Chain A
Amino acid sequence: MTTFIEDSPRAFQAKWIAEAVMAGHAQGAVLTPWATPWHHRGGPGKKPGIRERAQELANDAVPLWFDATTHALQMGGVGDFRYYDEFDLWSGPRGDLSTPANRDEHVRKVFDVQDTLGAPHLGPTVLLHTGLSQTSVVALDLARDAVERDPQCWLTIAGTNPFWASGAALDAHIGALAALQPAGWFLAIARPLGTIPVAATRDEVFGLCRTVRALAEDAPVHISHGDLAGLPAIAAGASSVGTGWDKRQRVLSFADYAARTPGATGGGWYERPTLRGLIGSLSSNEANVLQSRDPAFTARMGGLPAPGPKEAFVQHIATLASLVADIATQADFEQRYRRVRDLYHAATGDWGTSLSLSPSDTSAADWIAALEEGLGDYGAAEGW
């Protein structure tokens, strides 16, 4: 596995996904009640219902996941329930997990939707800010409910930066979850801001790597919305990252679940060319300047796509899948770590060259530094 395509609040490009799967760049799509409605709308510019969408993907042999993303309900400012409230996911008030009956019913209803769509069972969770709180008990209870209902289900772990950076508390919480022995894991890092490059920190990346290394011992691990920032997790043993053609598919942000401003259009297409050598992207203008000043260097960095949103997506996912496969095919955990460390080292040097040719708003300090430092802490803890 390399990538799953996340659901998109923007127009959902099922054919792009099918082509990515056919090309071997993606291994599935993830639908959510936040971006795909339950009821069929259809027609130009209208979203189809989730059952129709699932059928469309099935017709193209695209493996499908349904992520209830219950953890978005705890995000500050959440309010975009346009599609969410069409789903039957709660027996009580939306988001009420205060009783065992409500928790169990929520898990049952999520699994029911997944059964309807022919998707694997993926247990819901709540958003955590630390591994040691009453809320983390709720997360553990939900996970236990899910595994008792289906021992072969996958489980979700979702947290903000402080959760992933919470050291021994994180490790203890992960240990309790790992004891449930699910079939696989979806890990999510939720961020208040949807900026790319993401605002990762060294401690967060170290915590994520430690967690992935532990869980990957026994089951596959997917990094939801991980995109390029998920590569340290791939080094630690994760098998896939979430991505897409839109910024909101590449970072899990509070802002993307907030109430919509009336009349908002969602902005333009995200067409920044992704350059493998930089393990990052440039704006179209920056990339064009780079190309004009040093075509050979630009080609060595991976080259630029033809103009257009689909072309930008195809280049991005091919680059991302190639990086994931490169890392995942290393001989062992240590070699995976060393491979990513080497990629970051080379990219940091190439960012210097790139900036000397084409000034950019971002640099290696934004795209790589925290990821590299956190990865380094993980390697040091492993004795490498």
Chain B
Amino acid sequence: MTQVTDDMIQLGLDELGVSDLGAVGAVGGQKAVRKVTDGTRDLVMKVIALTPSAPDALRRAEREVDLLAKLTSPHVVRVESTLRELGEPPVAAAWLEEYLDGEDLTALLGSPWAWSDVAQLGLQVAQGLAAGHDVGVIHRDLSSNNVRRLGDGTFKVLDFGFARHTLLSGITVAGQPGTRGFLSPEHLNSYSGGPMPSSDVFCVGILMFTALTGQPPIPWTGDDDDYLRRLAAVRVSADLPTVRSDLTPAQVALVARCLHPQPARRFTNGARLRDAIEALA
């Protein structure tokens, strides 16, 4: 895998006209995230290294940034620039996003939340996803690492980085992205049954279940086959009430529907999940 180098980061800073304020999150890998400033406000610069053997990566990134720039949801991180190619021939690409304070959801999970807080998490993440689903963008890699709670309590969805514009044909991948422990059954397939809007809904279900119980519903143990078997056998409607007896049947049913092994049995997309959570309030 091609690594993002200091030279690539400098090329990005120059091309986008911003000054570096330091790394955000882990350093290294095919993608780098830097806190930057344009002199008036703080921003985030994302740099991806381009692999010569995977020329589609640039076109995919261009399209995704272009699509995300069109999303206007308070629950999706805002894109602040177009995607810029770095180098000639291009060795990397970079773009700017709004800078978010607060914490990643991962840091906030571990002990059970009140239903009202979980409902807000589910509702706002669903609203963010709905903005993408409405224009044919599937997140495909929703996990606690790319949901952020801001200082004012607002939840925002980050990194539609593996999203695919489902209305456009052409660039597709057979192997599906995703984060272990946050995969849906269809994440392990390709062809027509690959990730779909209801796959994102499944991941919201994982987030809500984990927030409610402190434990993920299907912990990753390192084996895809084992994970798929347990995904297909998950019975949230039976398991959840034993851990959270304070939940109403309707609340349990909502989370269980998000986590149904059959994608067609879940809420079809973010908008339908949003409506269902609002109806419970």
Contacts and interface: CB of A to CB of B under 8 A. Distances in A.
B269 A179 contact: yes
B2 to A, nearest CB: 30
Nearest to A100: B169
Of listed B185, B265, B269, residue having the most chain A CB within 10 A = B265
A139 B192 contact: yes
A102 to B, nearest CB: 14
B193 A169 contact: yes
Contacts of B82: none
Given A132-B193, A168-B189, A383 B262 contact: no
B237 interface: yes
A137 interface: yes
Contacts, number: 83
A372 to B, nearest CB: 22
B205 interface: no
A61 interface: no
Interface in B243-281: 261-266, 268-269
A172 B169 contact: no
A175 B269 contact: no
Interface in B11-32: none
A136 interface: yes
Nearest to A143: B192
Q: How large is the interface on B (under 10, 10 to 19, 20 to 34, 35 or more residues)?
A: 20 to 34
Given A100-B169, A168-B185, A383-B238, A178 B268 contact: yes
A199 B269 CA distance: 37
B186 interface: yes
Contacts of B169: 100, 141
Contact of A132 (B189, B197, B237): B189
B192 A218 contact: no
Contacts of A136: 191-193
A217 to B, nearest CB: 7
29 contacts: A132-B189, A136-B191, A136-B193, A141-B169, A168-B228, A171-B185, A171-B261, A171-B262, A171-B264, A172-B186, A172-B189, A172-B193, A173-B193, A175-B193, A175-B198, A175-B199, A175-B263, A175-B264, A176-B196, A176-B263, A178-B264, A178-B268, A179-B196, A211-B264, A214-B262, A214-B264, A217-B265, A218-B268, A383-B235
Interface of A: 100, 131-134, 136-137, 139-141, 168-169, 171-179, 181, 210-211, 213-215, 217-218, 383
Interface of B: 169, 185-186, 189-194, 196-199, 228, 232, 235, 237-238, 261-266, 268-269
